[in-house]
Amino acid sequence: MNPSRRAKGTNTAWFYQELRREILSLSVQPGENLEERELVERFGISRTPVREALIRLAADGLVNLLPNRGARVATVDLHDFPRYVEAYDLIQRAVTRLAAMRRDDDDIEKIKAAQGRFEAATAKHEPLEMTGYNRDYHAAIGDASHNPYLSSQYKNMLDQGMRILRIPFAYDPSSDDGLGTHLKKIITEHRGITKCIETRDAQNAELLAHDHSRLFQSRCLQYLRDIGTENVQVDMAPKD
């Protein structure tokens, strides 16, 4: 859309969404500089919405702000991946268990709606769209925990890890465990988690949430092996 045709005051939200999409789709590479002047020229907007959007993206963990130099796309540090997986698994189990204990009817409706959008997106096999709807599904579960401290941290982790979380939806190995098979596993696990939350089966909800974390972890490890990286250990990180 031409910036001049958007409603007044909407440039920040528009630019934020556009640049966020480029970062998550890896059109803009990790570690790439984001110069304010270049962004202003490329997107045809003023410096104010650029700066405001960069601040929002920094809060999402997707960019690092640089003094007087704009920003830089946050890197994806595989050395820190074990700790990310460790924290992601623990908080996912916690919010899913609490959601099963505390959810109300509105929560169930939102979870099922997000689940349905994800399943519809899998038919198109568009990685960025699947990643976003998967994020929305888990964020709805976080909200259903009715613990704002946990849910906000969970959403932050989902946002920070979206480029890693994109791997399961973009990677299609030439094996029996191709993308279609993997997507079916995700859908099956989502449905199981939703059912446990709906029936207030907190114990099994947590167990399925843990299995879901392991599915993500194993997919990422398979990807790393197939692209020829060195062996990467992703067990629980030892304490420093």
Looking at residue 64, what DSSP letter applies? Answer: E
The correct CATH number of 78-226 out of 3.20.20.70, 1.20.120.530, 3.30.360.10, 3.40.50.300 is 1.20.120.530
Looking at residue 74, its pLDDT comes to 86
Query: Other C-beta atoms within 10 Å of 128: how many?
Result: 17
Please check the confidence at residue 6 and state whether its pLDDT lies above 60: no
| Strands across the sheet containing 33-34 | 33-34, 71-73, 63-65
Task: Please check whether the two domains, 3-73 and 78-226, share a CATH topology.
Answer: no
Domain ranges for the chain: 3-73, 78-226
Q: Mean pLDDT over residues 109-136, rounded? A: 91
Reported pTM = 0.75
**What pairs with residue 33 in β-bridges?**
72
Which residues does 162 contact at the CB level (< 8 Å), separation at least 6?
A: 24, 62, 131, 132, 135
Read off the pLDDT of residues 147-179 as tens digits, 9 standing for 90 and up: 999 999 999 888 877 777 666 666 666 555 577
| CA triple 119-153-159, angle to 5 deg | 50
Burial (CB count within 10 angstroms: exposed 0-12, middle 13-18, buried 19+), residue 153 = middle
How far apart are the C-alpha atoms of 174 and 208, rounded to whole Å?
Answer: 27
CATH code reported for the domain at 3-73:
1.10.10.10
Read off the pLDDT of residues 178-233 as tens digits, 9 standing for 90 and up: 778 888 999 999 999 999 999 999 999 999 999 999 998 887 777 666 655 444 45
